[in-house]
Amino acid sequence: MTAYPLDVARPAFLDTLDGLSALLDHVDDTDLHARSRCHGWLAADVLAHLHLGLVEMLAGFPARTDRPADADLATYWTAPPPGSEQPGWAHERFARAVAAAYARPTGQVAHVATTVRGLRRLVADLERPYRLEFQGVVLNVGDFVATWVVEVVVHHLDMTVVLPDAPAPPASGLAVVRETVLRLAGDAAVAGWDLTSVTCLSASPRADGARRGGPVCRRGRRAGRSAGCR
């Protein structure tokens, strides 16, 4: 299995974090209380879900292993997830409860910023490839980081569905999403689509048949929950 280059994934992830930070600097309480692209979720609910995932990412880096990789940035999303016996709405309720625990929707932003700063330092310092175990699979660290580029970029767009003037995800992050979708669905499925359209497609019901439960929904089920994007 060919590893996704860390030298590509690392700057794309750092750019993607910059894009997320720019978005969070842009939004106010009303923006986060608006609907998202995820069915039944407010933007604040999506942010709570994303933050829970980023904390999980932080915890994943130390789990080094000598075992060979058995998943990559694309097949990670299709492997049978542990905890999939959980009802689909379990994490939806949890994410909403987390978001609602803040006195105001933007109350989350400072906590997310702290996690983003920690991830930025950790990923920027990654110099040599290695393999790690995460949620039942073994990934090269470049592939691991690339899956989180997808997670952040797609949810970035989820939160801006009614905010046309919001900062967009970076081109480097969109390119990683496109690579993932191409590997999952093939060239024909996204022919003629630009990077942003492909990214929106990856979180859309239109992609379900082609990608077999691909980006974002996969992340939620991996931890015994559903991301709510369908």
The pLDDT value given to residue 164: 84
The pLDDT value given to residue 85: 60
C-alpha to C-alpha distance for 72 and 138, rounded to whole angstroms: 8
Q: Which residues of the chain have pLDDT under 70?
A: 80-88, 188-230
The pLDDT value given to residue 182: 86
The pLDDT value given to residue 204: 44
The pLDDT value given to residue 181: 86
The upper half-sphere exposure of residue 9, i.e. CA atoms within 13 Å in the direction of its Cβ, equals 26
The pLDDT value given to residue 62: 97
The pLDDT value given to residue 220: 45
